[in-house]
Structure 1
Amino acid sequence: MTTFVDRVELHVAAGNGGHGCASVHREKFKPLGGPDGGNGGRGGDVILVVDQAVTTLLEYHHSPHRKATNGQPGAGDNRSGKDGQDLVLTVPDGTVVLDRDGNVLADLVGQGTTFVAGQGGRGGLGNAALSSARRKAPGFALLGEPGEARDIVLELKTVADVALVGYPSAGKSSLISVLSAAKPKIADYPFTTLVPNLGVVTAGSTVYTIADVPGLIPGASEGRGLGLEFLRHVERCSVLVHILDTATLESDRDPVSDLDIIEEELKQYGGLEDRPRIVVLNKIDIPDAQDLAEMIRPDLEERGYQVYEASAVARTGLKELSFALADIVAKARAAKPKEESTRIVLRPKAVDDAGFTVTYDEAEDVYRVRGEKPERWVRQTDFNNDEAVGYLADRLNRLGVEDALMKAGARSGDGVAIGSEENAVVFDWEPTMMAGAEMLGRRGEDHRLEAPRPAAQRRRDREAERDDAQREFDDFNPF
């Protein structure tokens, strides 16, 4: 059964915003109470949070679909809908968030680090919030926006100071077991270690973490063995330690060629050229291994490596090795720049930034309007309500969309699409959208708020309408 997962594809969906409410206040003796529709609640976000108690992505391997709750719709009597609850997903320290194309969205390092993977939709405004001096009685409300939904990839890169690399069965797990309190699986056959092991080592006043990378063999950077799955776990380390087996029973292997092969795989993987290296000649408790270690040590030192001899079984050479690693880790930590306080970066918009663009799409034969505001306004519009459509037309006109369409060459009757190709609202454009909007619905007037007229007045109005109709007929009738 799988117990360790360091890469998963996660499908997240934030909550939708609640719809606004179009309501009129009703109370005895107050027929003109006015609009009192409340706003819709905000949809819940999907948030990734680093928790150092979490060490694997196994939970998301079994349940890759996660969704936050929706916001509640508004109600009459100025009651706003309840906000949706945020969905908080805990991830291990060192998790990298990528999109499906492999672009890095976030690198989550440090307890409590957060990333909003899915933004909840805004709640729609009720007609009470939409009322103004010019629009005293809106007969419509705005719809809630849909929450953000996308597919992301989570990759775990172990946060360790020291990484042990080497052939299978070179003794990496044995060294971790004696240098720290970790208890990895140890056996006398290749690929015993199927997941990275992590241990904590104390050497003097320095405390550092040490991890081994399982399954490095020739071709690991191209996917052979287990190396490609776990090479990412050495990317954050401060020092690489080559564990060379001086007691191997394979006739076609020797410690120096093992070192060259592993170095070539690390080079092919890339990004590790600047890490200091240490070589450990392991298993020197075996007589022939001790002789081989003494033979190859001068050659390795000539290459510039720090060389140490050790035995996990006899527990020799471990103290010197642990303090040497602690010294390198301490120097690497001191060389890192100090973390600065949080800075707020202000990026003001350009003076000529209209907030939208208008382009001609020859394939679809439409003028396409793209921009955050126009697309959001379209999503918030109830197209079954003429007054809401007219309100949208007014907003687009005030933003300057009509002028931009005319400058782009649009003419009466041309198709205009607002939004992306997959989800756009398309309509036949008529210049002077303000006038066209008035024909769709008279914004600011609501027949539900009209005071009842006396019977005599209603009779006089009907007679006046008949007289007007008769005069129009007489004017156009030549006989």
Structure 2
Amino acid sequence: MTTFVDRVELHVAAGNGGHGCASVHREKFKPLGGPDGGNGGRGGDVILVVDQSVTTLLDYHHSPHRKATNGAPGAGDNRSGKDGQDLVLPVPDGTVVLDKDGNVLADLVGQGTTFIAGQGGRGGLGNAALASARRKAPGFALLGEPGEARDVVMELKTVADVALVGYPSAGKSSLISVLSAAKPKIADYPFTTLVPNLGVVTAGSTVYTIADVPGLIPGASQGKGLGLEFLRHVERCSVLVHVLDTATLESDRDPVSDLDIIEAELKQYGGLDDRPRIVVLNKIDIPDGQDLADMIRGDLEERGYQVFEVSAVARTGLKELSFGLAKIVAEARAAKPVEEATRIVIRPKAVDDAGFTVIYDEAAEVYRVRGEKPERWIRQTDFNNDEAVGYLADRLSRLGVEDQLMKAGARAGDAVAIGPEENAVVFDWEPTMMAGAEMLGRRGEDHRLEAPRPAAQRRRDRDAERDEAQQEYDDFKPF
């Protein structure tokens, strides 16, 4: 039996970036030809994309953990690692993506609409990319960044023009089956329909979609029955159709009270007051049903409802209903504002934004550095390589982290933490003037890789060395 799922929690993990490679080019008669380590590949993204052929979130209910592939590490001979493959996850039209706190991240409507749920990590640079005039032969490479991992909630809201609402067994499924080519399950017991059914109706030149919303009973907006699970599917519909059963077998019910109860539930759910409403009196093929319809029609029209009398079984009144809905749908579409082109909101950084903050945590007695660049550089650093650590010290110094630490009152030997509190890198701070860049000197430079000197220069240097040696001998020779 097919199960309909319209709300799932998805755990996504993008691919990690590949590590850069530290390598030196070697060939015959040229054993040290310079750095040639390639860059690591980018980690794959996790992408949600709207696919019209997908109608449920069932796949993600059974398999909620999804991970993209990692990028490959770089290699020698300037060979970059292969990028990780993006993981594309098809979702139904009308899927809303939220974070764990309920904030909307994306509203996916329309075929092909995409949202990157997890960003792949960037690959680390190889030592060839890190080489410069000052650093001719780096003996290290940068590590690849980990991919983004987070939990998101996906909710499906049916995209339809018309929503059929009403009590269970009011005939909504029968009505949608005769108005369109949809084939829902139909029976004479409550809660036959356990999933929203969607059909396409053509009336003249107007084509519109119609959906029945199951499970509405008193208390549905508070979670009773199936109502709370499916009321969200009404939100996107432009027109609400109350399907009233004029031949109900329950003595304590009548069509008008059914209408009032469903309206109360819709009002408590909220956000639907502006939707046009019509009333369909169903099952008039039954003698008592026609009599009851004649009795209540005037009362409903006095309330301002447009009323249609139909029989899904005898197929009477369907043409008038389909064209009447087409007219209301066309008016609702015309009343919608013209959609503007997608605007990109640019939020430039303030001129005094350093890109990081330094705060002293009195409880932990540590200076905490937070910022996108410092935290990314920490993730890229191989702390088993002294040269890589020195390179990190240079980068932090150029960014101004040391200056801010001094202004915050930090002294040599104080604890400094870079990164989020639960996963920070903590070290004892030593200013650059005492350690780090100046202590390590000209990192990454190898005199063996320097360009050969001209012959004349070599002779002059050789003569100068001989003269210097002779002078030292003369100064210290015994009398």
Same fold (TM over 0.5): yes
Shift in alpha-carbon separation, 1:407–1:291, aligned structure 2, 3 A: same
2:135·2:442 contact (CA, 8 Å) conserved in 1?
no
Q: Deviations over 1:423-459 (max 9, x none)?
A: 1111122233684344357522358869999999999
> How far did 1:478 drift?
27
SS in 1 for 2:435: helix
2:134·2:445 contact (CA, 8 Å) conserved in 1?
no
> How far did 1:306 drift?
1.3
Aligned mates of 1:141, 1:103 — CA distance in 2: 39
Shift in alpha-carbon separation, 1:360–1:450, aligned structure 2, 3 A: same
Shift in alpha-carbon separation, 1:23–1:421, aligned structure 2, 3 A: same
Aligned mates of 2:463, 2:319 — CA distance in 1: 109
> How far did 1:327 drift?
1.0
Deviates more, 1:423-432 or 1:105-114: 423-432
> How far did 1:146 drift?
0.4
> How far did 1:291 drift?
1.6
Deviates more, 1:24-33 or 1:153-162: 24-33
Aligned mates of 1:435, 1:109 — CA distance in 2: 56
Aligned mates of 1:92, 1:294 — CA distance in 2: 42
Shift in alpha-carbon separation, 1:423–1:28, aligned structure 2, 3 A: same
> How far did 1:361 drift?
2.0
SS in 2 for 1:154: strand
> How far did 1:342 drift?
4.1
Deviates more, 1:197-206 or 1:400-409: 400-409
Which residue of the partner structure matches residue 247 of structure 2? 247
Deviates more, 1:167-176 or 1:57-66: 57-66
Aligned mates of 1:411, 1:459 — CA distance in 2: 51
Deviates more, 1:463-472 or 1:343-352: 463-472
Q: Deviations over 1:383-418 (max 9, x none)?
A: 000110010011011111111122222222221111
Which residue of the partner structure matches residue 170 of structure 1? 170
1:394·1:434 contact (CA, 8 Å) conserved in 2?
no
Aligned mates of 1:376, 1:434 — CA distance in 2: 25
1:76-95 to 2 correspondence within 5 Å? 76-95=76-95
Which residue of the partner structure matches residue 432 of structure 2? 432
> How far did 1:63 drift?
1.4
Shift in alpha-carbon separation, 1:247–1:77, aligned structure 2, 3 A: same
Structure 1, gaps ≥5 residues long: none
Deviates more, 1:300-309 or 1:193-202: 300-309
What is the root-mean-square deviation of aligned Cα atoms in Å?
A: 4.7
2:136·2:446 contact (CA, 8 Å) conserved in 1?
no
Q: Deviations over 1:39-60 (max 9, x none)?
A: 0000000111111011111111
TM-score, scaled relative to structure 2: 0.92
Aligned mates of 2:89, 2:318 — CA distance in 1: 40
Structure 2, gaps ≥5 residues long: none
Q: Deviations over 1:217-273 (max 9, x none)?
A: 011111111111111111100001011111111111111111111111111111111
Aligned mates of 2:220, 2:175 — CA distance in 1: 22
Aligned mates of 1:475, 1:207 — CA distance in 2: 107
Shift in alpha-carbon separation, 1:474–1:263, aligned structure 2, 3 A: farther
Shift in alpha-carbon separation, 1:318–1:384, aligned structure 2, 3 A: same
Shift in alpha-carbon separation, 1:368–1:147, aligned structure 2, 3 A: same
1:218·1:261 contact (CA, 8 Å) conserved in 2?
yes
SS in 1 for 2:26: coil
Shift in alpha-carbon separation, 1:458–1:69, aligned structure 2, 3 A: farther
Percentage of pairs with the same residue: 92
1:16·1:122 contact (CA, 8 Å) conserved in 2?
yes
Shift in alpha-carbon separation, 1:252–1:452, aligned structure 2, 3 A: same
Aligned mates of 2:300, 2:220 — CA distance in 1: 23
Shift in alpha-carbon separation, 1:226–1:447, aligned structure 2, 3 A: farther
Q: Deviations over 1:349-380 (max 9, x none)?
A: 21111111112223322111111111000000
Aligned length: 479
2:281·2:308 contact (CA, 8 Å) conserved in 1?
yes
Shift in alpha-carbon separation, 1:414–1:64, aligned structure 2, 3 A: same
Shift in alpha-carbon separation, 1:272–1:459, aligned structure 2, 3 A: same
> How far did 1:344 drift?
3.7
Aligned mates of 1:474, 1:43 — CA distance in 2: 67
Deviates more, 1:25-34 or 1:331-340: 331-340
Deviates more, 1:430-439 or 1:74-83: 430-439
Shift in alpha-carbon separation, 1:478–1:219, aligned structure 2, 3 A: farther
Deviates more, 1:441-450 or 1:260-269: 441-450
SS in 2 for 1:155: strand
Deviates more, 1:183-192 or 1:465-474: 465-474
> How far did 1:476 drift?
24
